[in-house]
Amino acid sequence: MERESSRHKLFSRRAAFLVGGKLALLGVIGGRMYYLQVLERDQYQMLAEENRINLRLLPPPRGRILDRFGDELAKNRQNFRVVLIPEQTSDVGKTVRRLGEIVEIQDHQLRRIGRDLKRQRRFMPLTLVENLTWEQFASVNVKLPDLPGVQPDVGETRYYPYGDSLAHVVGYVSAVSEQDLTGDPLLELPGFRIGKNGIEKVYDVGLRGKAGNSRVEVNAYGRVIRELQRQDGQPGDDLVLTIDVGLQQAASRRLAGESASAVVMDVHNGEVLAMVSSPSYDPNAFNLGFSAKSWKALVENPRNPLTNKTIAGQYPPGSTFKMLVALAALESGVITPEHRTFCNGSTKLGRHRFHCWKWRYGGHGWTNLYEAIEQSCDIFFYDIAKKVGVEQIAEMARKFGLGERLDIDLVGQRAGLVPNKAWKLATTGVPWQTGETLITGIGQGYLLTTPLQLAVMTARLSNGGFAVQPRLVRDKAAASTGEFAEPPTSPPSLGISSSSLNAVLKGMRMVVHGRHGTARGARLEDGVKMAGKTGTAQVRRITKAERASGVRKAEEKPWEERAHGLFVAYAPADRPRYALSLVIEHGGSGAKAALVARDIMAEVLARDPLRRPAIGRLASRPPADGQG
């Protein structure tokens, strides 16, 4: 009986311990549940929401680029594309191969996918193919169950309706490279493009806009069930250029087939109306992608279609430089406009003989300043260059914008070169020679200029000697504020006397309208007078033996040995409004370049873009008195 009672007590104690343990365990569990469900409720609710709700960035529409009259030079259009979320597929390579059975994926695209896969995070969308046709896009949608991680998407792509005629000005957009990443998540979006050249690059941040976002509900496999909320991005700012696209196209057509460049600008406010570099390229190809063959053809083309020759091409100015030599001599008091020099075809300095271009015909005889500019007499300018010296010539050249980078919104601009004694000694260790001053006096030797610099030089000559700067964007401030920026109302004076300027301008009018003018064949047909100056810049020295045997005609030489043909001009001659510079690489002569320039200037005057109403506040302001 006692034993049975003892067993009963033992069982009761064990039962009590067991029940107590269970109660304690239940208490712990209940406490934990209270902690998780009540105290930590907000945190776990947020984590659960993050598994169910995805927040995705939405790329903003890129701002448009417009010409001065509102024509679209760069715009956006619909882009059917396919993206991949790498973490949602176990085998990316297999998925890509399956997609390749539906739409073509080229080798360069596969290489790009491989690079992006290594540098992007696996949860970020990766662009596989884009710019699909509707039929291709529909085929991908039908076969989505066999393509894990693949998502069809409709975005926007950049489009340049005027193609190669504006490629060097507007530039292009292209895929973001690893060097472009700055931590901005916008740059990691699939298919996102940034400006890589031209205006697209300079104003890229303002044109991009600000990203939007979309909250979507997804299932356990990451598939989108529905969109819960969307906040569209802020479009990029539109940008208005000074370019007249009609004039730009006309100039492009006139330069077709040449390796050449031309710039047309307003002589008073510096607005660039046309800026053509030929040959060019299709900027849309940078967005769509190049084949290896087409890229190689571009890169290896000896006429350099990828280079913007208007700002990066550097050429001896030849005789277009003679106006500045004349100004240096006039302003220093070394000569007057009536100063006369006798040209018999050559002149001697020490043991060296320097020739005039007319040496085979006995020279120009006695010439004054006006006639020397009209007929481009080299002997006259050898003489006055020696009298005035290279230092004053260099100082005058810099006043007119040569030898420096100009204030214009493009990348890749080169400064050219205006040599002097200090430069040569520092560069070569050899003192300056008097013969080099003579060669500089006719725009040869070490001198290098760009077509844009020559246009600015011509504008400053014809506007009364004011330091106008070239302008390519009418609304610089619009990229951040949406307001139009006013150009300087009165550029600073260069301090050149009107008598000196008038003497030089008279000579430039005689170049086209004088009886012996080197560009007398380039007169305009509508009665408006154009003033200008031809230039023929040698690319190699003519040897004594070649002179003795006779210089071959330009067309008989290999293309790369022919002289560059240059022409600078302004019109109307009696009331200047437009300045033009033209360089035809290995074009043979300045007289031939003048014929091309005449056709472009005729188009300028026929369109008269400064008289037509342009968009923006600048259009409503009438031109100042005396400025056309």
Is 319 a catalytic site residue?
yes
Beta pairing partners, 437: none
In this structure, are residues 389 and 325 in contact, taking their beta carbons and an 8 Å threshold? Answer: no
Q: Is there a contact between 518 and 534 (Cβ–Cβ < 8 Å)?
A: yes
Length of the chain: 628
Q: Contact 80/154 with Cβ under 8 angstroms?
A: yes
- Residues with Cβ < 8 Å from 490, sequence gap 6 or more? 466
Closest CA to 562 of 572, 577, 552, 571: 552
Per annotation, catalytic residue among 277, 278, 319, 581? 319
Question: In whole angstroms, how far apart are CA 454 and each of 130, 324, 397, 460, 525?
Answer: 43, 11, 11, 10, 25
DSSP element (H, E) containing 212: strand 212-218
Q: Give the containing element (helix H, strand E) for 221.
A: none
How many angstroms separate the CA atoms of 455 and 458, rounded? 5
DSSP string, 326-348: HHHHHHTTS--TT--EEESSEEE
Q: With contact defined as beta carbons under 8 Å apart, do 575 and 481 qualify?
A: no
**Element holding 51 (H helix, E strand):** helix 41-52
Q: Is 535 helix (H, G, I), strand (E, B) or coil?
A: strand
List the structure tokens of 23.
């109660």
For 212, phi and psi rounded to 5 degrees? -100, -170
Q: What is the DSSP string of 229-274?
A: EEEPPBPPPPEEBS--HHHHHHHHHHTTTS-EEEEEEETTT-BEEE
Contact 408, 472 (CB under 8 A): yes
Q: Is 606 helix (H, G, I), strand (E, B) or coil?
A: helix
In this structure, what DSSP letter does residue 36 have? I
Continuous segment of H or E residues that includes residue 298: helix 292-299
Which of 350, 317, 562, 332 is closest to 441 using CA atoms?
317
d(CA 36, CA 45): 10
CA distances from 308 to 21, 203, 247, 404, 579 (A): 86, 18, 18, 17, 19
Hey, is 175 helix, strand or coil?
strand
User: CB-based contacts of 139: which residues, under 8 Å, 6+ apart?
Assistant: 102, 103
At a CB cut-off of 8 Å and minimum separation 6, what does 483 contact?
A: 475, 477
Q: What are phi and psi of 505, to 5 degrees?
A: -65, -35
Residue 466 identity: F
Catalytic positions, please?
A: 319
